Amino acid sequence: MIEKLEGLQRRYEELGQLIADPAVIASMTQWQKYMKEHARLTPLVEKFQEYKGIQQTLEETRTLLAEESDPELLELARQEVADLEAKRDSAERQLKVLLLPKDPNDEKNVIMEIRAGTGGEEAGLFAGDLFRMYSRFAERQGWRTELMDASPTDIGGFKEIIFVVEGRGAYSRLKYESGVHRVQRIPTTESGGRIHTSAATVAVLPEAEEVEVEIKPEDLRVDTFCASGHGGQSVNTTYSAVRVTHLPTGLVVAIQDEKSQLKNRDKALRILRARLLEQAQQAQQNEIAAARRSQVGTGDRSERIRTYNFPQSRVTDHRIGLTLYRLDMILDGDLDEIVTALITNDQAERLKATETEA
């Protein structure tokens, strides 16, 4: 591991020289590429420097310990050695985490799709609750959300809602949200006071750039039609709604959120690219041995991942056995504790797999 870290430190120092080179600065594309790599290596190199500093101090203290004869100073030196060993071990664990292969999608924006599942109108209301939860979480992170398309219900929920979350690291923190979310509560439509169980499905797709997913014009069929539902005077009067069909895969995206046909087409292509990227990545993941997959299950939409129980004010994430009794705060976007626990669990499982392979 040390040899690998030394090599990465040399590369970091080389990058520092490259990004200051006038010839490189003249090529913005190349400069940005080096800057991204430099920024990615910075936390790793800083932690390695800290590790080496601790190791050096530890060796010096052990030397003093071997030469010391005063009982009180010996006891102090032994305590300092123990403290330094604990710090060194902690730094080593953090270095191992930083050395884990990075998900190439982690820094990307995400396209989130929330669909009402079992539970009728109550499932639609819950889909609306989830949309608000993620919107508030994004706001807390300093990210931007943009509505792509929505199919509202008559009582204020959503049959389906699609939106983009734009911000650095959005996918790295939201990717664990894919799956079935279950709610247990007394519906507003229930007169008998009985608790019902409803569900909504969440899909989190990394937004694909045009260079990652090539969509040939001849592979598309674009149909236009009149928008329906909420939308004002333009509804049912202009052919602003767009349905894009990707002929090779059969994927269909229909958007009617904007009054402009061009804007709806652009939104549809953004969603289509994300779905095509997810399809390609899913095919790749299916070829990976089950033992090497993330234990958190970041991509299975059919997996029941979390329950929101209103009578007990309880939220349980079934993948890691985490239960929190502050439902209101979580639905208001306070997801940090859950997200951090999922990331930590994922890192621990990948470290375990790495050590097993070694």
- Confidence band of 298 (pLDDT split at 50, 70, 90): very low
What mean pLDDT comes out for the span 104-123? 89
**Listed range (41-50, 252-261, 314-323) with the worst mean pLDDT:** 252-261
* C-alpha torsion sign, points 175, 181, 187, 193: negative
Selected from 3.30.160.20, 2.40.50.100, 3.40.50.10420, 3.40.50.10360, the CATH number assigned to the domain covering 217-285 reads 3.30.160.20
What is the C-alpha separation between 113 and 271, in angstroms, rounded? Answer: 10
pLDDT tens, 145-185? 999 888 888 888 899 999 999 998 899 999 999 999 999 99
Q: Residues 311, 195: contact at Cβ < 8 Å? A: yes
What is the C-alpha separation between 129 and 123, in angstroms, rounded? Answer: 10
97: CB partners within 8 A, 6+ apart: 347, 351
What is the C-alpha separation between 40 and 44, in angstroms, rounded? Answer: 8
Using the predicted structure, report yes or no on whether residue 221 has a pLDDT greater than 90: no
Using the predicted structure, report yes or no on whether residue 229 has a pLDDT greater than 60: no
Q: Phi, psi (5° rounding) for residue 54?
A: -65, -45
Q: Which pLDDT score is estimated for 96? A: 85
Q: Which pLDDT score is estimated for 239? A: 67
What mean pLDDT comes out for the span 136-147? 95
| Residue-range domain boundaries for the chain | 2-99, 110-211+290-357, 217-285
What is the C-alpha separation between 68 and 77, in angstroms, rounded? Answer: 9
Pull the structure tokens for residue 343. Answer: 């990331």
Greater confidence (191 vs 288) lies with 191
Beta strands 241-246 and 220-225 are: antiparallel
Q: Which pLDDT score is estimated for 284? A: 57
pLDDT tens, 323-351? 999 999 999 999 999 999 999 998 888 88
Q: Identify each DSSP E strand in the chain by its residue range.
A: 110-116, 144-152, 158-166, 179-185, 196-206, 220-225, 241-246, 251-255, 304-309, 314-317, 322-324
The segment with the largest mean pLDDT, out of 12-16, 91-95, 151-155, 271-275, is 12-16
- For the domain made up of 110-211+290-357, the CATH class stated in words is alpha beta
Per DSSP, 102 falls in state P
Mean residue pLDDT of the chain comes to 84
What mean pLDDT comes out for the span 129-155? 93
What mean pLDDT comes out for the span 28-42? 88
The rounded percent of the chain whose pLDDT value lies above 70 is 87
Q: What is the pTM of this model?
A: 0.70
Q: Which pLDDT score is estimated for 278? A: 80
The rounded percent of the chain whose pLDDT value lies above 90 is 38
